[in-house]
Amino acid sequence: MNRAILQTLEHLLTHGEVNTKDLADLPAGDEIGLWTYSEDVKRAVATPKIVQLLRTLPSTAEAIGAILSCQPEIRQSWQQIVCARLQELGQQRDTASLCEAISTLGQCADSLLEQLPQAKLAPTPYTELERSLFEVPAEQAIAAPKLDRILGATAFLIEGKQGNTEQSLPNIDLVNPSNNWLKRRLIQPPHLATSQTTTQWRTTSILSGSWDDYSPTDPPPQPELAAMYWVLARPWCFLLAQIVFTQEAWAAERISGELTLELDPSNVSLSYRPPKLSVVITSTDGAEILCGSLGELLLRVLDRLGIDILAPEVDTLDALLAPVIEAMLQRQVWQFSLGAGGHRPHYTIHPTFSDTCYRAIGSKNFNRLASYVTATIRSTSEQWAKERRMTTSSQRLNSMSY
């Protein structure tokens, strides 16, 4: 196993897919469900278990180490070193450090008891890989905390026996949302497209993070359909379009509340590329409930859909959405209003795009085939508002009791 495998795994953690042949030396990854395969078995596709490792460990290097540690021969070598370190802490009577190490190892700690006779602080056959991941060979003391975290993060898969093969998902279809927004699908965080992601787009099982231009091979007969094709082909644009579409349909009912995307008045000069939008839900009794940010709403919607973002953390989602919103305004999918009559600055669906939602491809693909996404946005928003209202009521009762 050479260092090229590290680049392959980094690409998998970043883009979600690599050539199947590049992971031939790591069969355990498929067996425990860290990745599955595309329908044609040419691509290895990351699963939500990969995202769990990314979120659990502090760096990409350790996440790569965690994947490697699932190979039985590598795991055994690293466990022997960890056993030796635990023995060392016991001999030093360093109870605090010993307890911390055992706690970090989790389920893996129990299995180490059986390996204590094989404990040894000696170089492994993987020194070159270890230097790249840990900066030192695994037997060096500085690598000990990293090994504990890596073995602990993967213990649920190996020692906990929760690692199982995953079923393949269908390839992404550029214009069919019902095929794309499936449970266990991964979506890349919003990003500018590269030549590599553009060429892979038509044969991917991962929802792209790109918002660059798109038009079908055969140009639509009506120019106004170009925005619809772009929205359908770009997942984050699709979600943002679905939110303002849901907003419009909700408001049209007139008796069941409303969803508003508000911009802080101090940021009006940045309305073309807002750093953060607030989600305000108006209840049936007219109460306005500030729920949180647009990024938080999208995270809740994705969670309900069973889709994970392929990223170590998601705290910066609002900032990543700013250029996507700019593109939505430029292509007349969204529109901005300064607000009047007591209303704050806010965003709604553009009338031109609204009309397209009920015509031709919009009526079928964006409206009907994506109806469950629309329903999820609505139900998620309503549930969020209820949670916020209950929290506020509980806080008021607690303050009154004092």
Domain-embedded: residue 64: yes
Supply the pLDDT for residue 338: 92
CB atoms within 10 A of CB 22: 17
How far apart are alpha carbons 254 and 249 in whole angstroms?
Answer: 10
Residue 400: HSE in the Cβ half-sphere, 13 Å Cα cutoff: 6
Boundary residue ending a domain (120, 153, 186): 153
Residues 250 and 359 in one domain: yes
Residues 182 and 146 in one domain: no
Domain-embedded: residue 336: yes
Supply the pLDDT for residue 293: 97
How far apart are alpha carbons 386 and 153 in whole angstroms?
Answer: 35
Q: Is the separation of the CB atoms in 307 and 186 below 8 Å?
A: yes
Residues 250 and 138 in one domain: no
Supply the pLDDT for residue 201: 42
Domain-embedded: residue 172: no
Q: Which of 324, 317, 182, 315 has the alpha carbon at shortest distance from 240?
A: 324
Residues 6+ apart with CB under 8 A from 75: 69, 151, 158
Handedness of CA 388, 391, 395, 401 (dihedral sign): positive
- CA dist list (Å): 350 to 74, 329, 370: 56, 8, 19
Helix (H) or strand (E) holding 170: none
Supply the pLDDT for residue 157: 96
Residues 222 and 147 in one domain: no
Domain-embedded: residue 394: no
Domain-embedded: residue 232: yes
How many domains is the chain partitioned into structurally? 2
Amino acid letter at 355?
D
DSSP 70-102: TSHHHHHHHHHHHHHHHHHHHHTT-HHHHHHHH
**pLDDT tens digit at each of 402 positions of the chain:** 778 999 999 999 999 999 999 999 999 999 999 999 999 999 999 999 999 999 999 999 999 999 999 999 999 999 999 999 999 999 999 899 999 999 999 999 988 988 888 899 999 999 999 999 999 999 999 999 999 999 999 999 999 999 999 999 999 998 999 999 999 999 999 987 654 444 444 558 999 999 988 877 666 667 778 999 999 999 999 999 999 999 999 999 877 789 999 999 999 999 999 999 999 999 888 889 999 999 999 999 999 999 999 999 999 999 999 999 999 999 999 999 998 777 899 999 999 999 999 988 999 999 999 999 999 999 999 999 999 988 776 666 555 555
Supply the pLDDT for residue 200: 42
**Tell me: the pLDDT tens digits for 336-365?**
999 877 789 999 999 999 999 998 899 999
Is 69 strand, coil or helix? coil
Supply the pLDDT for residue 203: 58
Supply the pLDDT for residue 75: 96
Residues 17 and 59 in one domain: yes
Residues 221 and 370 in one domain: yes
Supply the pLDDT for residue 197: 45
Residues 186 and 113 in one domain: no
Residues 6+ apart with CB under 8 A from 195: none
Q: What percent of the chain has pLDDT over 70?
A: 93
Supply the pLDDT for residue 219: 65
Residues 377 and 229 in one domain: yes
Supply the pLDDT for residue 220: 61
Residues 204 and 139 in one domain: no
Q: Kindly report the average pLDDT of the chain as a whole number.
A: 91
Q: Which of 109, 56, 42, 366 has the alpha carbon at shortest distance from 227?
A: 366
Domain-embedded: residue 167: no
Supply the pLDDT for residue 376: 97
pTM: 0.92
Boundary residue ending a domain (153, 185, 200): 153
**Tell me: the pLDDT tens digits for 81-92?**
999 999 999 999
Residues 346 and 217 in one domain: yes
Phi, psi (rounded to 5 degrees) for 4 = -60, -25
Supply the pLDDT for residue 55: 96
Helix (H) or strand (E) holding 44: strand 43-46
Boundary residue ending a domain (137, 153, 169): 153
Residues 43 and 189 in one domain: no
CB atoms within 10 A of CB 250: 20
Range of 115's domain?
4-153
Supply the pLDDT for residue 346: 96
**Residue 30 burial (C-beta neighbours within 10 Å; 0-12, 13-18, 19+):** middle
Residues 198 and 344 in one domain: yes
How far apart are alpha carbons 4 and 55 in whole angstroms?
Answer: 24
Domain-embedded: residue 401: no
The runs of H, that is alpha helices, within 284-356 are 294-305, 317-330, 351-356
Domain-embedded: residue 168: no
Supply the pLDDT for residue 255: 76
